[in-house]
Chain A
Amino acid sequence: MPAGVQVYTSDTNVVQIDGTYSNLQMTAKGTVYSGFQTVAANTNPNGTYYYNIPVAYVSFNAVSPVFAVSGGTSAAVVATSNSGNSWTVTIWTPNGPAGVDWFVFDRATPADSKSGMQVFNDAQQLVFDAQMKYLKVVGNVLDLVPVHSNGAVNGLTSPFTYGYGFPGKRIAIGAMLTPINWGTTKWPSGQNTVPGNPNCRGLGLGCWRGVVGAAYFDFIHTIVAYQGYFDGGAVNQAFANSAAVDDQSFPFGVRQFGGLLLDVTNY
């Protein structure tokens, strides 16, 4: 390494800080409250359909962000869009309207603080400032939602919760991967919904909670009302928002979930 310092953890001899890279740091945070809104869902060759669900939107500016949420509300980041450096994410809170704490981590020039420790690279650029709030990864989850015992016929995987303990640390979940599992209720084949008499559908949604001491992955059953055109009930079960993982019950099944578990204690 041509310039700067290298810092290792006291227990594992893992490099934490050096002058050769610039880490992500917290550039924005806040709390947002969800409310029932009509949200555009998929567009198929016959048109678009919509859900009426509790969602919140967070907009921020960033170059290449990691977006994270925290708090005791089960929440799923289900959409991310950007136009240049202007980003908007959609957070779905399936248990009802609620508040969600959020954090943005991005590449940014560290602020020039007046105390603590700073590390510069060989171009004399500030790459670490001990007063900044860095992306502190404490865990990484990549796992699969279990297949329902009824296999490929109607039915959702039962609700469940997986816990990941980090004593004393406040946890946020970044870059989350949240499966949606549709099931149980047939779409009315080939018909439009009637305004004022919305059709509903059962689904399972993978969500995360981050609190002091733990992160939790919750697989939640909920009912959504939908509007708009739908072209048939041939497929009524899949993990639609997640990855395509082969297994015997879901030949196209998509049920991977994941996230970066982040320490945001005192952030």
Chain B
Amino acid sequence: MFAGLQVFDDSENILFDLTDRVGRVLGLVRINAGESGAIVLPNYDSGQPFASFQRDGSIISGVVGQFVPAVPVIYVSGIAITWVSKTQYTTWLGNSIYVQPVGGWLTYGVY
């Protein structure tokens, strides 16, 4: 470390160093099944934006016949975080496929 602050635990392990980046979690967004949306980061202070999604559900999704569970697609571009859910059905190899959207929590911030 060149200058600044270091914090040690009782065993002299470094817990925090100013060369660390503390992820600044700016928010958690509830995304209900099927929703799409976007956030432009507030309090944006030149860090790198991040986003990740934890899906809902007490069961493990699998493919059942023509039903395909799917969580939103997450995009991070510049200071914008976008999520897109699919709700429509489509066809594949002559079969009708129904996408079952799954909701969850999006954690976002900068680091």
What is A's interface to B at a CB cutoff of 8 Å?
7-17, 20-21, 23-24, 39-44, 49, 51, 64, 66-67, 77-81, 88, 90, 92, 116-117, 130-131, 133-138, 140, 142, 152, 174-177, 180, 182, 230-232, 234-238, 240-245, 250-252, 254, 256, 258-260, 262-263, 265-266
Contact = CB atoms under 8 A, between A and B. Distances in A.
Given A41-B59, A42-B63, A135-B25, 10 more contacts: A12-B21, A14-B111, A15-B24, A42-B69, A79-B57, A137-B111, A142-B76, A238-B68, A240-B63, A241-B71
Contacts of B1: 10
A44 B65 contact: yes
Contacts of B60: 39-42, 51, 78-79, 90, 92, 180, 241
B14 to A, nearest CB: 7
B2 to A, nearest CB: 5
Nearest to B30: A64
Given A252-B86, A252-B97, A137 B23 contact: yes
B22 A43 contact: no
Given A10-B3, A79-B59, A135-B23, A243 B70 contact: yes
A20 B95 CA distance: 53
B73 interface: yes
A77 B54 contact: yes
Given A64-B105, A79-B59, A135-B22, A44 B51 contact: no
B22 A16 contact: yes
Contacts of B65: 44, 230-232, 234-235
B39 interface: no
B93 to A, nearest CB: 7
Given A7-B5, A42-B59, A130-B16, A240 B46 contact: no
5 contacts: A16-B24, A66-B107, A78-B60, A137-B50, A266-B9
A237 B63 CA distance: 8
A80 B62 contact: no
A240 B97 contact: no
Contacts of B5: 7, 117, 130
Contacts of A77: 54
Given A15-B47, A242-B71, A133 B15 contact: yes
